[in-house]
């Protein structure tokens, strides 16, 4: 059994006195697409922030490609090949669309993704390349955010609630592009509130509830009932 690309063991996370994650255990296997679902406040975004290095964690709780990244800064984690498409897009308003994409490549990692490849994936962005990034529609901004993460040629890409605030048809388009994104052997974690979408693209799923894992299984094997119970914390 090959090493998982991401291994989380006993992860705790706190905001001041408030504990958001309680001893979380989780793995992401190399090349797989993993879904993480859960209600608001379940700890999904906290998990993303911890993994990507935006939040401080005690040593020994997160390892990526075999290395302990728990205490590393976000820029150090990024350099190792882990990219995050943050919740709410969070593009740089002072940068144009193209500059947002270019800055994604700053970590300097080699790989299949380049500016021209991203424009092939999302042609509309090429049309709008010199526009101020925040003047785009929500769906287009999401494309920029995804493209920006891809430009880093990561080994593992994290999608944090990419369907939030988008119209259903846009969400459909983006999810249709997803296999093309992760097809090249990239591992992915998709955090979603839209359970159907999450299950449709992933091979395995975790459900978080109040900072703990309440369900783990194959995406095509978990029942609606199991998910409801795990989602809302009904025993």
- Note the residues at the interface with another protein (CB under 8 A): 52-54, 73-75, 78-79, 83-84, 86, 90, 92-95, 99, 102-104, 106-108, 148, 152
Q: Toward another protein, which CB reaches closer, 152 or 188? A: 152
Q: Using the structure block, give the residue that is written with the tokens 């101020």.
A: 132
Q: What are the tokens at 97? A: 């669309």
Q: Toward another protein, which CB reaches closer, 3 or 75? A: 75
Q: Toward another protein, which CB reaches closer, 100 or 214? A: 100
Pinpoint the alpha helices (H) of 88-223.
97-104, 115-121, 123-127, 138-150, 168-182, 195-201
Q: What are the tokens at 125? A: 């962005």
In the complex, the smallest distance separating the C-beta of residue 151 from another protein, rounded to whole angstroms, is 9
**Cα separation of 178 and 201, whole Å?**
8
In the complex, the smallest distance separating the C-beta of residue 136 from another protein, rounded to whole angstroms, is 16
Q: Toward another protein, which CB reaches closer, 95 or 215? A: 95
Of 2, 8, 52, the C-alpha closest to 30 is: 2
Q: Toward another protein, which CB reaches closer, 78 or 230? A: 78
Q: Toward another protein, which CB reaches closer, 94 or 137? A: 94
Of 83, 136, 88, 85, the C-alpha closest to 106 is: 83
Q: Using the structure block, give the residue that is written with the tokens 């793995």.
A: 27
Q: What are the tokens at 20? A: 């958001």
Of 231, 96, 77, the C-alpha closest to 158 is: 77
In the complex, the smallest distance separating the C-beta of residue 104 from another protein, rounded to whole angstroms, is 6
**Cα separation of 89 and 177, whole Å?**
17
Query: From the CA atom positions of the chain, what is the Rg in Å?
Result: 17
> Phi, psi at residue 210, to the nearest 5°?
45, 50
In the complex, the smallest distance separating the C-beta of residue 90 from another protein, rounded to whole angstroms, is 5
Give the number of C-alpha atoms closer than 13 A to the C-alpha of residue 133, restricted to the C-beta side: 22
Q: Toward another protein, which CB reaches closer, 9 or 103? A: 103
């Amino acid at each position: 059994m090959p090493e998982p690309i991401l291994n989380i063991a006993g992860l705790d996370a706190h905001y001041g006195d408030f504990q958001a994650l309680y001893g979380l255990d989780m793995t992401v296997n190399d090349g797989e697409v993993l879904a993480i679902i859960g209600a608001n406040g379940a700890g999904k975004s906290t998990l993303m922030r911890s993994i990507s290095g935006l939040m401080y964690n005690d040593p020994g709780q997160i390892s990526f490609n075999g290395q302990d990244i728990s205490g590393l800064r976000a820029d150090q984690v990024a350099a190792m090949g882990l990219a995050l498409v943050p919740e709410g897009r969070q593009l740089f308003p002072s940068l144009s669309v193209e500059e947002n994409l270019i800055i994604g490549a700053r970590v300097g990692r080699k790989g299949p993704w380049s500016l021209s490849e991203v424009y092939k994936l999302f042609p509309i962005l090429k049309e709008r390349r010199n526009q101020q990034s925040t003047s785009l529609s929500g769906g287009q901004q999401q494309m920029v955010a995804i493209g920006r993460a891809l430009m880093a040629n990561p080994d593992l890409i994290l999608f944090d609630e990419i369907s939030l605030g988008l119209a259903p048809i846009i969400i459909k388009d983006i999810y249709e592009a997803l296999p093309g994104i992760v097809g090249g052997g990239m591992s992915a974690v998709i955090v979603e509130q839209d359970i159907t979408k999450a299950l449709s693209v992933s091979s395995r799923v975790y459900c978080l509830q109040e900072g703990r894992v309440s369900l783990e299984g194959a995406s095509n094997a978990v029942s609606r009932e199991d998910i409801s119970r795990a989602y809302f914390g009904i025993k």
